[in-house]
Amino acid sequence: MIRVLALGLLLATFPDPGRCNALHPGPEPCRILVNQVGYLPHLPKLALLTGDPVGAGESLASVVSAATGATAFEVSPGTPYREEPNGPALRVLDFSGLKKTGRYRITWQGERSAEFAIGPDIFTEALTLLMRSYTLQRCGVALNDPLTGLRHGPCHTRDGVVAHEDAFAATGTPVEARGGWHDAGDFGKYVATTAVTVGRLLACRDETPTLFEGLDLSFPETDKGPVCDTLTEIRVGLDWMLRMQRRDGAFYRKLSGASWPGAVPPDADLQIRYLYGISTPETAKAAAALAMAARIYKKGDPAFADRCLKAARLGWQFLMDTPGMRVDVHKGDDTGSGPYLAGPIDTEATLTTDLDDRFWAAAELFITTGEAPFLAEVERILPLLPWGLFEWKNPSSLGMANLLRHSNTPGRVTEALNDKLFRRADTLVANVRKSPWMTANTRMVWGSNKMTAEEGITLALAAAHTANPSYLSAATAQLNYLLGVNPFGLSYVTGLGETSVNRVNHLFGRAVGINIPGLLVGGPNANAEDGIAPKDKGVRSYIDSEKSYATNEYAIDYNAAIIGLMVHLTALEKTL
């Protein structure tokens, strides 16, 4: 059993203002920032006071019942610190001692926080909202959602045609590639992000099967399948990836039009849509996700599971026949879609190799089949990889995490994986201690919120394997940041919390004037490539504007990351 110690371990080294890089224009009023969804009873509970107090600054803060105003808990604000010498004062409120289920606010010197909950099931509604976003993103079908009022006719029903001649098809050859999810606020579909989204969501099902399979996504009875709602929704992504596989096992990289669509409903986007070249990184990622599906769907839908495994093996064979990294790309491929390759925005070294992708595929195929050749490939590549941030640019850490969970992983592999995990987690805890906002992610770039959520998952994994309370405290702080404990006091998920993002960059939402609920936006991006968000302001390089695609757009893999963090924290709660 993990026992949560006082947060003094975390707060004793709280930030040196001179090391903070976030900027602030001047004084701001006092605010009380909380996780606007809430806190699990036995996990740490932190809030922040921001701004300089009026009069006596040492008075106790009160956690009060949202219904009656009765005081349930009192806490002394922590020692004030600042982001930078002239910035606002920040004080931590640690009310971890309050474990009683209920709905609360925090009050201090006449100010009050947003309402929040404490309870063992506080994330159920949030997870349902976040998972339903995928239903709203479905491509190739009509949408008529009574809960949100979103409606459109069948879209992109002719997806797609081959963009460039290859050994199997001439330019313009039709390929049945309908379905899947629109990747983000536009209508492109990408194997890279679909694979990591499916992988993270399937891992959630493994982590807490009862919770994840119990979510009711309000499907009509005609849409109910042989498995639970969540696995039925995940299959939408899997089915589309299967259609993107070529006869030799390779996967096409993406499907989109040659031009970016305007702010229209998806069924009004009538341009021809193309399948763009194959690649070994995408083939490996797809094979990994399909290998996971093969074991997870085996009980509820064995025929589909067999199909997934067959496709994963075929993809693996293509990788074995293509020992080096290969990406088929042509000039003009990105005029209507993102490149999802190394470039001016995505500069990570992992995009110059496919070893991380091959590792994930080998790991999942070994877990699913137990076959020695896959384990041999795992052991060949493992020494070359650190434990990194799970994302489309480097999916290897999900393979590492799943190997740690798998009982048949050899001890020598488990030992190496644990060493990598704890090294990474220790670095993240150090980052949290340096950050005014307790963020483990130090890179405020495109998709920083997704990165924050994934670093939280890594910390939660470390917490599950040791009694070190710093990992648990830091993991919970990442979700707090995403749901309100940030400079803007915003929940970065639309429709979630008392004060949340409401101008998300989403073509369909803009076209119909609806703030689509359950979307995690990209978050602060110091590069502000759209010219809309403030540039070079670190954690404050964000704006809630429908024009800011660099900070305020949603993507399917962003949602998967915060879903994963909620699931992992819930799993930890059940061990306490």
- Residues involved in catalysis: 544, 553
Contact between 555 and 193 (Cβ < 8 Å) = yes
> How many of the other CB atoms lie within 10 Å of CB of 360?
31
Phi–psi pair at 8, nearest 5 degrees: -55, -35
Distance CA 499, CA 518 (A): 13
Q: Kindly state the tokens that stand for 294.
A: 């093969």
H or E, element range at 89: strand 89-94
* Amino acid (one-letter) located at 396: S
Q: Kindly state the tokens that stand for 334.
A: 């990105």
Contact between 408 and 370 (Cβ < 8 Å) = yes
The CB-side HSE value for 140 (13 A sphere, CA atoms) comes to 18
* Amino acid (one-letter) located at 71: T
Cis preceding-peptide flag for 538 (omega within 30 of 0): no
How many residues are given for the chain? 576
Contact between 346 and 192 (Cβ < 8 Å) = no
Q: Kindly state the tokens that stand for 134.
A: 């995928």
Distance of CA 270 to the CA centre of its chain: 30
- CB neighbours of 26 closer than 8 A, spacing ≥ 6? 86
Distance CA 238, CA 35 (A): 33
Tokens 């490939």 belong to residue: 377
Contact between 148 and 180 (Cβ < 8 Å) = no
Long-range CB contacts (within 8 A, 24+) of 79-86: 79/14, 81/14, 81/15, 81/17, 81/436, 82/17, 82/20, 82/436, 83/15, 83/17, 83/20, 83/22, 83/23, 83/24, 83/436, 84/17, 84/20, 84/22, 84/23, 84/24, 85/17, 85/18, 86/24, 86/26
